[in-house]
Amino acid sequence: MAKVTRLGVLTGGGDCPGLNAVLRGLVKASAFDHDMQVVGFVDGYAGLIKDHTRRLDSDAVSGILARGGTILGSSNKDNPFRVPTKVNGETKFEDRSDEALRNFDRYGLDLLVVIGGDGSLTIANQLAEKGMPVIGIPKTIDNDLGATDVTFGFDTALSTACAALDKLHTTAESHHRIMVLEVMGRYAGWIALEAGLSGGGDIILIPEIPFRVESAVAAIKNRRFQGRYYTLIVIAEGAKDQSGDMHVAKVVEDSPDALRLGGIGAWLASELEKQLETEVRVTVLGHLQRGGTPSAFDRILGTRYGVHAAHCAAQGMRNVMVSLRGTSITEVPLAEAVQSLRRVDPNSEIVRVARSVGTRFGDE
C-alpha cells in the first residue's frame, strides 16, 4: 500500500462546540506522527464543489482549542449530489459529485476526512460509494448518531441547557410561574432528557415519548396541591403529542434535512394557559446551544477523535467512522454508522431514574 501523504478535511452541517479541537488533533497528529499534510475545504461540501481550500498546518491550528465554531466554516445546505440552481426562475437540483471527485484528485489527496452529523456522513458514504476514500468523525449536539456512544458537542450544549434551567428555576420559584424551556435535538430527546434531569426539570417532553397536554396539566395541578407553585418544563423541539404531529418552523428545500423544527414550546404554553388560566413563559435556547467555548470533555473527545482519524488514515483504513465505545476510541464501517439514529429508549435506565425522582413525561 502506498504511503498516505495528503488528507483533505471538511466540517459539514451545523457548527458545534469542539470542531476546532478535532481539526487541531487531526492536523497535529498527521504532521507529528505520520508526516502527512492536510488541506481544508472551506464551508463544508461547498468548498469541495467550488474548489475553495486552505492549507492546514500546525501554525494554522495553534490556539484554536478553546474556540467555538470552526475555522474552516460550515454549511448545512450544500450537497454535491443535490446542488440547487435556478432555471427560468425555478429551482432545479443538479448532481455535481463528479466535480467534487475531480477537485479531490486535483490536490493529490489520498483521503477525505468528513466531520459531521448524520446528514454530512450520509453524503460522505455516497462519495465513498463513488470511489472517494473517506473517514468520518461524528459531530452533533443532538447526540443521535447510532454507531457511537457520544458525539462531541453534546456535552457543551447540555451544559448550556442545564445552566439555563438553573436560571429559570430561581425566577420561576420567585414568581410562582410555569416556565417552558425549548431545546434542540431534532428527532432525538437527549438534550431535553439530560438537561431536565441535571437541571431539575419537573416535566420533560421528548420525541420518543408522545405526551398529552392533559397529563402536563395534571402534573402542574398536583405540584400546586403539594405547595409547589412553580413548574419547570423542558421540551425538545422534536417532541410531539399523541397525535404524532411535530411543529415545523419552516421548510428549507435546498437543505439535506429540509425541516426546521421549532415552535412547540409556544404551542404548549398556549395550550396550558387555556386549561390553567395562568400565564406561561417560554424560553427558546436555539443556537445558544451550538455556540461558545467547548467544555473540557468536548475538547478532549474532539482531540481524541481527530488523532484517531489521523492514525486510521496512516494505517490505510478507508470508509470508516471513528467512534467512542465505552472509554475507548475505535472505528466502525461508515455505511453502518449512518444506518440509524440513536434515540432515547423510553424504557432505559436514565428514563427510569428520572421517573423515580418524580419527573413526568406527559404520558401518565
Q: Which cell goes with 167?
A: 436560571
Q: Which cell goes with 208?
A: 420518543
d(CA 175, CA 172): 5
Q: What is the DSSP string of 10-34?
A: EE-SS--TTHHHHHHHHHHHHHHHH
What residues act catalytically? 142
The owner of cell 436555539 is: 286
Task: Characterize 224-241 residue by residue with b for buried, 16 or more Cβ atoms within 10 angstroms of its Cβ, and e for exposed.
Answer: eeeeeebbbbbbbbbbbb
Number of residues that this document lists for the chain: 364
Q: How far is CA 114 from CA 11, 224, 229, 279, 283, in A?
A: 6, 51, 49, 46, 34
d(CA 138, CA 154): 11
| Amino acid identity at 37 | Q
Q: How far is CA 347 from CA 12, 75, 208, 350, 352, in A?
A: 33, 36, 10, 8, 7
**Phi, psi (degrees; rounded to nearest 5) at 214:** -60, -35
Contact 205, 211 (CB under 8 A): yes
d(CA 348, CA 344): 8
Q: Across the strands, what pairs with 54?
A: 40
Residue 177: closest CA among 115, 135, 233: 233
Q: Across the strands, what pairs with 41?
A: 53
